[in-house]
Structure formats: structure tokens, C-alpha cells
Copies of this chain bind each other. A is one copy, B any other.
């Protein structure tokens, strides 16, 4: 068992509160243990210049933390006048992941802006952001279907993310909280579809390395965790749950 009291293959408690704020087309407050992220999806009726006139949509994501989301206060990126490398990496990852499951052709010439704002951080903020953002995007696109702006939900499959890692004593564990993450030898973020296909694997050994065998074990842990998350997403999404993935049959 881990210091956190969890089993090595045990996820933290996950909760997703939909319609958390009133203005966005899709709004979700996701909690993964003590990590809390507001995921808002906004629909804009135009696309960036490089896509204009192609009949295709786009998804772009932004990520930020409140200054005191963490144990000690961070300086606001707006005050520093620039976005950090870490922030850029994360928002590029979120956008890329969502684009893998949304059918951009069926979306039509519109942009989905996804804002992931961490209000409380305890490790795994980027993976919680992806898991919550997927639900926010479903709700936002669901509104378009309800308003008959589009005919059907342009979503090809479920999407979620989690982290796995290797502790200093060499154990592979699932869903690292901050106290685990900050000392882990290897840290890996996995983004996966509901069909258990990989969308993204980012594994990093900071001043450490890992073998093929360890990699196998990490991927297994992730897959098992992910399937529990997909079940939760289905519950939260409600009436839209069955419209996802059907198109696969085409």
C-alpha cells in the first residue's frame, strides 16, 4: 500500500459537476482527489485563418492555475507577461488530445475553445483537465445538437487521461498525487480513447531511466484506471452517452 493509503492500482475519488458556471456552452468542475479544475468549453462560429473556407472545425485549449492553487503562491502569468513553457506544453497536449476524438469535418467551420483553470492542485492537473474537458466538449456540442445547429454529436470515441509512475523504491503506481509525483523517478501521462487506443504517451525519467518491462507494467496500470474513468464519464454525460462511438460502425 502507498503512503496515501491507496493500492498501487487505485485511482483517487473522481467527481464531475456539470453546468458549474452559467455562461459557457459546456462547463464542468472536475475533482480528482484534491485536484480541482474548472473545464469550460466555448463555441465560436469561426475558425482560425489557416482553416477558413475548408468546411472543417478546430479545437484549441488554454490552461492556467490560480496563483494559490498550490501550496505556495505562484506569480500570475499575466503579471510576468508571458506564458511558461510548462503551460504551453500542457495546453498543446489538451488541444491535440481532444482533436483526436472530435470529428472536425462534422463539426463544421467553428472553433471550440477549451479553458482549463486549476483552482486547487494536488498532482495530475493536466490529466484531470483532459478528462474534464472531454465532458465539457460533449455538453457544448450536445447544445448544438439540441438547437439543431448540427445533426449529430461529432464525437468519435470517449477520451480520458491519467498518470502512472515509478516510485523511488521501484514500484509502478497509478494516478500520482503531488506527494508521490514530486519524488517519482519516472512520470508518465497517458491519454486514451474508450476503445483503449493510445492518443498520447509522454513518459519521462528526470535523472532516471526505465526498461521495456517497466513500461509494459505502467501501460497496464493506465489501461485499467482509464476504463474506470470512462464509466464515470458515461454517467455524467447522461443522454449523450449512447451517441458516442456509434459512428464507428460506419
Residues of chain B with a CB closer than 8 A to A183's CB: none
Interface flag for A199 (CB, 8 Å): yes
Q: Is A108 an interface residue (CB 8 A)?
A: no
Query: How distant is the Cα of A126 from the Cα of B208 in the complex, in angstroms?
Result: 20
Tell yes or no: A205 within 8 A of B by CB: yes
Interface: A110 (CB within 8 A): no
Q: Please give the count of copies of this chain that the complex contains.
A: 6
Q: How far is the CB of A119 from chain B (nearest CB, A)?
A: 6
Given contacts A115-B66, A198-B210, contact A73 B100 (CB under 8 A): no
Q: A81-112 vs B: 1/0 string, CB under 8 Å?
A: 11111111101100010011000100000000
For window 12-69 of A, CB contacts with B under 8 Å fall at 21-24, 27, 34, 36, 38, 40, 42, 44, 62, 64, 66-69
* A3 contacts partner chain B, Cβ-Cβ < 8 Å: no
Q: Is the CB of B211 within 8 A of A198?
A: yes
Does A62 contact B89, Cβ atoms closer than 8 Å? no
A51 to chain B, nearest CB (A): 13
With a cutoff of 8 Å between Cβ atoms, the chain B residues found around residue A71 in the complex are: 23
- 7 new A-B pairs (CB below 8 Å) besides A84-B88, A100-B205? A21-B66, A21-B68, A21-B69, A27-B68, A85-B85, A88-B88, A196-B212
Closest 7 CB pairs of A and B: A85-B88, A197-B209, A77-B78, A78-B78, A201-B203, A40-B68, A24-B68
